[in-house]
Amino acid sequence: MHVRHARAITAAAVLALSFATAASAAVLWDQSNLNATLDGTIDLSSTSCSQISGNTKVHIASDVHFDNPVVISAVRIYETPGNVQAATQAYLWIAPKTGPLPTASNTDVEAAAILVPIVVSPVVGGVVTVSAQGLTRSLPAGDYWVSLTPRHSLGLFPYTWHIYSAGPVVGNSSAAIVACTANSNWVYPLDPNRPDYSIKIEGDVPVPTLHSSWSRVKSIYR
């Protein structure tokens, strides 16, 4: 074989290997189209639940689908301004979807191990973006429930609420659980409308490793 042909094949193999280790940044899931009136539901975890102060723990989960394995780097939800702007942490719960409603216990979505730092954006058009960033959550292809619940007190009316999407509903509607007492009673907020709530997930789609190309190149020089 001519040397120049061998060099060309080697270069192609090296290029293939570089793609194998690269990943393409992408929006993995996007339901950030907000309803026109910015309506929604509270989505927060107060320090404690109290009938006097109105503090509560309500987690909203959205179902998402990934055609390929992914590495999640950011999860964002969209809320109205208020007490959420003082929040620095949120519970990020991700679990495989096995039916039209989650079945997890409130202890799963309130576990200290799933607390992550969050950043709350400045107000733009009456909306703040609540972001968990710098994540490295690797997931196989499939269907999942994803919930990002900021930690802050309810405060005074008008409360901060998680804005729902303008639609359409994709898969099943978003679900909610009140986590003040032990339970696994998930329901659809704003029933009977049952909207999807706003969420955006960003990250990478890894490219499968290609072993065979390098093996073929090595065989040329044997």
Residue 146: the pLDDT is 98
Q: Kindly give the pairing relationship between strand 128-132 and strand 70-79.
A: antiparallel
Q: Which of 9-13, 34-38, 171-175 has the lowest mean pLDDT?
A: 9-13
Q: According to the model, what pLDDT value does residue 74 have?
A: 98
Residue 212 confidence (pLDDT): 46
Q: Which amino acid is at 4?
A: R
For the chain, what percent of residues have pLDDT higher than 70?
Answer: 82
- pTM above threshold 0.75: yes
Q: How confident is the model at residue 67 (pLDDT cuts 50, 70, 90)?
A: very high
Question: pLDDT class for 51, splitting at 50, 70, 90?
Answer: confident
Q: What is the pLDDT of residue 207?
A: 72
Where does the pLDDT of residue 69 fall: very low under 50, low under 70, confident under 90, or very high at 90 and above?
Answer: very high
- Examine residue 117 and say whether the peptide bond preceding it is cis (omega within 30 degrees of 0): no
What mean pLDDT comes out for the span 68-79?
A: 98
Contacts of the segment 110-116: beta carbons below 8 A, 24+ positions apart: 110/45, 110/57, 110/59, 110/179, 115/89, 115/90, 115/91, 115/151, 116/89, 116/90, 116/91, 116/92
**Average pLDDT, stretch 90-95?**
98
**pLDDT of 24 above 80:** no
Contact 151, 45 (CB under 8 A): yes
Residue 14 pLDDT grade (very low, low, confident, very high; cuts 50, 70, 90): very low
pLDDT of residue 124: 97
Region 191-199: mean pLDDT is: 97
Q: What is the pLDDT of residue 206?
A: 83
**Per-residue model confidence (pLDDT) at position 209:** 58
Q: Does the pLDDT of residue 94 top 80, yes or no?
A: yes
pLDDT tier for residue 73 given thresholds of 50, 70 and 90: very high
Kindly list the distances between the CA atom of residue 35 and the CA atoms of 30, 41, 162, in Å, as whole numbers in the listed order.
Answer: 14, 13, 11
Q: What's the mean pLDDT in 173-188?
A: 98
